[in-house]
Chains A and B, each alone.
Chain A
Amino acid sequence: MLEKALKGSRGYWIWIIFLLVMMTIGVLFYLHQLDYGLGVTGMSRDVSWGLYIAQFTFLVGVAASAVMLVLPYYLHDYKAFGKITVLGEFLAVAAVIMCILFVFVDLGQPSRVMNVLLHPQPTSILFWDMIVLSGYLLINIITGWMILSCNRREVPPPGWIKPLIYLSIPWAISIHTVTAFIYAGLPGRSFWLTAIMAPRFLASAFASGPALLILFCLILKRYGRFDAGDRAIQALSKIVVYALAASIFFVLMELFTAFYSQIPEQTRHFQYLFAGLDDHHNLVPWMWTSAVLAFAALTMLIIPSIRRREEWLAIACVFVFVSLWIEKGLGLVVTGFIPSPLETVTEYFPTGAEIAITAGVWAIGFLILTLLYKIFISVYSETGSDDNRPVANGK
């Protein structure tokens, strides 16, 4: 099936070349980082994680959100999703690969990465994250690819695929829960030390991932001659709105606990985020943008007449994605370090090299996603079926 990615329109190739250029720039800067050390980034002794780990955290959510298609389709036989579950699985594949790359580029000694397996430490959440992420990658590659190739040959998928798909559901929850545990179990970082971290992660994931998927479906409809179907897109938009509402609700609960208890350890991080602390306001405009976009998107998506108009839906989904990217991809990780354990406020500014490497990893992710989606579209237009995947009927 791979050869199908090699035939495409002019626009397709321009997009591919653009991604390859971004990727190359990223790789060149990464070589520089490899040579000089992580000092090329804006990370410091006080803020020792930055853009890389934040992207990783955000993208774990995007990856986990594939479950929002798989679950209704396979557990509730919601047929409208039949066509697009593979799109969700392929999105998960691309997102998990980006996650792994982001952790990798964040390592000070990447050549020693196998030490995690050579000297495993079961009490380390990072060790478990490595296990669940690679497992999730494998499950989604196998199920997505298998089902697509069976569709192509118009044969029912093998029986063993179904247990694997069922397994992918709790597994998706696990990747984001384990990722939340990386943060939520650290004694000295009160911003992260909250039992609601994993639920918060999942809620924002189930909003940002499906929002991205809606955007992809709308793009494919316009440029890819693939219509996911109005029912599927509308169902997805309802998932986005519920998850977004839950996500906003969880953040408000954090704010209540912090500001009603008025424990400084709790409040000062949120002060830094939304008002600035000791004259440091780096993230304040970003966080207010995120908040405004989240509420705007919530309003737009709640009102059915707006949600049903494709252009408005697209705008709302962009809002959701950008808002949650700011919340997790910028605010969440850095703010855990501000103020530091010794009460100093050290701000973090990503450097050019860091941004180039980050963009490079995103380009790799988008490249993988584009190729997989191209193959999917080709197979789809070849068989022209309205795809009732035999495995889906399950009866």
Chain B
Amino acid sequence: MTTNRREFLKIAGASALTLVTPSLLSPLWARETVRIPGQDFTPVKALMAKRWAMVIDASKCPPDCTDCITACHTVHNVPDFGNPKDEVKWIWTEPFAAVFPDENHPYREQGLQKMRLPVLCNHCENPPCVRVCPTKATFRRPDGIVMMDYHRCIGCRLCMAACPYGARSMNFRDPRPFITKINPDFPTRTKGVVEKCNFCAERLAQGKLPACVLACRQNAILFGDLNDSTSDIRKLIGKRFNLRRKAHLGTAPQIYYIL
């Protein structure tokens, strides 16, 4: 078959058009409403940000409150093995001295010493777990969320050794029989893979705030885009003195604690 010049130009032009068309049409249907928490209009679609971060005002936490933990662990099918050896946890509480060992001294006010702070994955800007993972099963999204691919993880647990916050859990056995009530909207995990908090990436995609944020009746947990100078959390951490866990390690953790 021979192609003359006219025909060639026609085909080339048509092909070029198909490349351009989607980008011209896409804004019509693919426009996702970016809703920054703290601004009040109803989200239509995914919540998006340039740098997700969390502020925890632990002074608001009532003693023995576990609302955030229950909400998170229910939504994410986190099993309860009932023993510390096999334990899987995404968010839990620790005493002040364990969370901020360098900030603790015997003359701290009693309230602070008795305080239990919620701890979770810090979604580091410079995450060591991502660096060490041999299969890219754990990775950092452009919006700062450090995620796990449960189907790629080989269970070598190098990320658990690398995490300076003890935020990661291994499924030392099949977790499914130990999930109180399975939430069909979120995957359960298999034995032999590592898991951790995912900043509710699956909920953000549906336009919902993280489960712990919504569950907290004291509004002690705030979530938002740190990159946006008008966001609530950005304003809050600019105003109130706050701490990050083990910031000296250079991991740039993104959970900010107000005490």
Q: CB within 8 Å of B: which residues of A?
A: 36-39, 41, 43-46, 48-49, 103, 106-110, 112-113, 115-116, 118-121, 123-127, 130, 182-183, 185-189, 336-337, 340-344, 346
Contacts and interface: CB of A to CB of B under 8 A. Distances in A.
Contact of A37 (B98, B164, B172): B172
Interface of B: 84-88, 94, 97-99, 101, 119, 128, 131-137, 152-158, 160-166, 169-174, 190-194, 246, 249-251
Closest 9 CB pairs of A and B: A108-B155, A188-B164, A108-B192, A39-B172, A37-B191, A39-B173, A37-B173, A341-B166, A126-B134
A276 to B, nearest CB: 20
A185 B250 CA distance: 13
B158 A113 contact: no
A36 B134 contact: no
Contacts of B246: 188, 341
Contacts of B97: 343
Chain A at the B interface: SS class: loop
A56 to B, nearest CB: 11
Contact of B170 (A45, A110, A118, A127): A45
A186 B173 CA distance: 26
Nearest to A47: B85
B163 A109 contact: no
24 contacts: A41-B172, A44-B85, A49-B161, A106-B156, A106-B157, A107-B156, A107-B192, A108-B192, A108-B194, A109-B192, A115-B134, A118-B135, A119-B136, A120-B134, A121-B136, A123-B132, A124-B158, A186-B132, A187-B128, A188-B249, A189-B161, A337-B161, A341-B165, A341-B246
B135 A119 contact: yes
Contacts, number: 152
Contacts of B160: 45, 48
Contacts of A106: 156-157
A187 B165 CA distance: 10
Contacts of B161: 48-49, 183, 186, 189, 336-337
A257 to B, nearest CB: 18
A132 B155 CA distance: 21
B132 A124 contact: yes
Contact of A107 (B101, B128, B155): B155
A16 B257 CA distance: 61
Contacts of B172: 37-39, 41, 43-44
A44 B81 CA distance: 12
B135 A115 contact: yes
B102 to A, nearest CB: 9
B163 A45 contact: no
Contacts of A130: 134
B203 to A, nearest CB: 25
Contacts of B132: 123-126, 185-186
Of A46, A109, A115, A336, the most chain B CB neighbours within 10 A belong to A109
Contact of B190 (A43, A109, A118, A120): A109
